């Protein structure tokens, strides 16, 4: 059973749309429901959100939430003193762990739990951050790869760590208005005979590890067999990265193939999955890769790298193709194979839901915190 009084500390939940924010929304919902069932209590503090950011949210009641609107000092002080009155302090990101560590110093009996998502805990950690992680009672890596990196980088005991894979958002819409899909096809100039590759991520030199540049380099060879190919590269981008990609596109002669969408709203995201034939993101630094599971939810075959947490999202290859993300030829061949026989590579929805549904996640989290 969860302990009686619980405090969940986050950087932000509702004021951004990144992967960690998605995770925190689901964690908040699961903690709230698990505490209701165990007759415990939960409070959620967010450093960057404001209270209005949480208005009308579907995940948990507003009365258990407090946003500090970027007031780091107020957040830290309030979290520290509220944490002293709590039994378990659950921390969403290593950058907030100082609060839990200080609480542990004053009240060693307090239980401190840390989520470990990916690159933020893999390497180049300061002495203090390593010391703080080692002081945690429980660490929750989101993948076995992150667990392995933690063991290797800071020699954390495996017994302290409990892998809890991320899951589908329970409020992710399962159907889409056909008019929105048609409108999107018209916007991008997509014909019924086109084959669509799709990647969704932020386009930045800091996130070039997602592998989208290598997908672009694979396009000329694929076009020889799939002349109606289009590659939708969705997500906000910075100008330097756009110039970098434009140069590759010019070099490869695929300016008519690559479609940059810019930021995609949640309202339009489903339609992007539905117009696509294949989701591909050959990353080398993915903590888990919830976008793979989202793509599978809409029946898309997926291709991912075999060197990071993507392996967990694809169940070691049971739900999709795992390839060497640094090998353009291997990326090219994998795309050809899937497009030639798409039906064969559509993932099993039953297997996906048995591993990555919200209810499964909620139970895993409950057990990990017990």
At 274-290, the pLDDT tens digits run 999 999 999 999 999 99
pLDDT in tens, 128-138: 999 999 999 99
- In whole angstroms, give the CA distance from residue 120 to residue 278: 29
Residue 367 lies in a domain: no
Q: Looking at the structure, tell me whether residues 79 and 123 fall in a common domain.
A: yes
- Identify the domain boundary among 138, 164, 190: 164
Write the CB contacts of 283 (distance below 8 Å, at least 6 apart in sequence).
209, 210, 211, 289, 304, 305, 308, 310, 325
Same domain for 53 and 151: yes
One domain for residues 235 and 140: no
Strand ranges (E), the chain: 5-10, 41-46, 65-67, 88-91, 111-116, 138-141, 195-200, 229-234, 258-262, 278-281, 302-305, 321-323
Q: What is the pLDDT of residues 296-305, one digit of tens each?
A: 999 999 999 9
Which DSSP symbol is given to 348? P
Q: Same domain for 185 and 155?
A: no
Residues 294 and 187 in one domain: yes
SS3 call for 35: helix
pLDDT at 189: 94
Same domain, yes or no: 94 and 218: no
Q: Which residues, 6 or more positions from 277, have their beta carbon under 8 angstroms from its beta carbon? A: 195, 196, 197, 300, 301, 339, 342
Q: Mark whether 296 and 150 lie in a shared domain.
A: no
Q: What is the pLDDT of residue 265?
A: 86
Question: Is 362 domain-assigned?
Answer: no
Q: Taking each helix axis as running N to C, give the angle between helix 266-274 and helix 290-297, from 0 to 180 degrees, rounded to the nearest 10.
A: 60
- Is the separation of the CB atoms in 186 and 271 below 8 Å? no
pLDDT average, residue stretch 109-134:
94
What is the predicted pLDDT for the residue at 1? 40
Q: Do residues 217 and 285 make contact, with C-beta atoms less than 8 angstroms apart? A: no
Q: Is residue 120 part of a domain?
A: yes
- pLDDT grade, residue 208 (50/70/90)? confident
Domain residue limits at 72: 5-164
| CATH code for the domain of 145 | 3.40.50.2000
Q: Do residues 195 and 340 share a domain?
A: yes
Banded pLDDT at 3 (limits 50, 70, 90): low
Residue 364 counted as domain residue? no
Residue 18 pLDDT level (bands cut at 50, 70, 90): confident
In-domain check, residue 302: yes
DSSP 3-state assignment of 74?
A: helix
- Cβ distance 33 to 8 under 8 Å? no
What pLDDT is attached to residue 266? 82
Torsion, Cα 26 32 34 40, to 10 degrees, reads 150
Half-sphere exposure of residue 123, counting CA atoms within 13 Å on the CB side?
A: 5
- What are the residues whose beta carbons fall under 8 Å from the beta carbon of 179, sequence distance 6 or more? none
Which 3-state string (H, E, C) describes 105-168?
Answer: HHCCCCEEEEEECCHHHHCCCCHHHHHHHHCCCEEEECCHHHHHHHHHHHCCCHHHECCCCCCC
pLDDT > 90? residue 175: no
Domain co-membership, 120 together with 224: no
Q: Is the pTM of this model over 0.75?
A: yes
Q: Do 231 and 138 belong together in one domain?
A: no
50 & 117 share domain: yes
Distance of alpha carbon 2 from alpha carbon 86, whole angstroms: 12
Digit-coded pLDDT (tens) for 39-75: 899 999 999 999 999 999 999 999 999 999 999 999 9
* Domain total of the chain: 2
The Cα 314–Cα 347 span in angstroms is 9
- Contact (Cβ atoms closer than 8 angstroms) between residue 67 and residue 54: yes
**pLDDT value of position 333:** 98
Judge whether 365 lies within some domain.
no
Are 125 and 28 found together in one domain? yes
What pLDDT, on the 0 to 100 scale, is given for residue 174? 77
pLDDT digits (tens, 9 = 90+) for 76-113: 999 999 999 999 999 999 999 999 999 999 999 999 99
């Amino acid at each position: 059973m969860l302990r009686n009084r619980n405090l969940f500390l986050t950087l932000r939940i509702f004021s951004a749309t990144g992967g960690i924010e998605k995770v925190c929304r689901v964690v908040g919902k699961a903690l709230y429901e698990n505490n209701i069932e165990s007759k415990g209590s939960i409070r959620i503090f967010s450093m960057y959100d404001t209270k209005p950011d949480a208005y009308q949210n579907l995940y948990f009641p507003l009365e258990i939430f407090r946003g500090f609107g970027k007031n780091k000092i107020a957040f830290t002080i309030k979290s520290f003193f509220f944490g002293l009155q709590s039994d378990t302090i659950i921390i969403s990101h290593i950058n907030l762990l100082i609060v839990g560590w200080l609480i542990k110093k004053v009240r060693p009996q307090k239980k401190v739990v840390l989520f470990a998502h990916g690159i933020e805990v893999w390497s180049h950690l300061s002495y203090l951050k390593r010391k703080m992680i080692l002081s945690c009672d429980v660490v929750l890596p989101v993948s076995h790869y992150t667990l392995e990196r933690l063991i290797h980088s800071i020699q954390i005991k495996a017994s302290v760590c409990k892998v809890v894979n991320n899951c589908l958002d329970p409020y992710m819409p399962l159907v889409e208005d056909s008019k929105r899909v048609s409108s999107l096809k018209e916007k991008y100039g997509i014909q019924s005979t086109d084959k669509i590759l799709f990647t969704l991520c932020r386009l930045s030199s800091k996130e070039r590890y997602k592998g989208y540049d290598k997908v672009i380099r694979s396009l000329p060879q694929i076009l020889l067999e799939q002349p109606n190919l289009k590659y939708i590269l969705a997500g906000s981008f910075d100008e330097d990265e756009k110039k970098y990609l434009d140069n590759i596109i010019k070099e490869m002669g695929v300016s008519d193939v690559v479609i940059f969408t810019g930021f995609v709203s949640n309202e339009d995201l489903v339609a992007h999955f539905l117009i696509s034939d294949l989701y591909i993101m050959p990353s080398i630094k993915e903590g888990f890769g919830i976008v793979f599971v989202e793509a599978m939810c809409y029946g898309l075959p997926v291709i991912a790298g075999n060197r990071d947490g993507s392996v967990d999202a694809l169940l070691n290859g049971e739900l999709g193709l795992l390839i060497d993300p640094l090998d353009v030829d291997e990326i090219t061949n994998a795309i050809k194979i899937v497009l030639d026989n798409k039906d064969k590579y559509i993932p099993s929805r039953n297997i996906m839901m048995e591993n990555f549904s919200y209810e499964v996640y909620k139970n895993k989290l409950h057990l990990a915190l017990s």
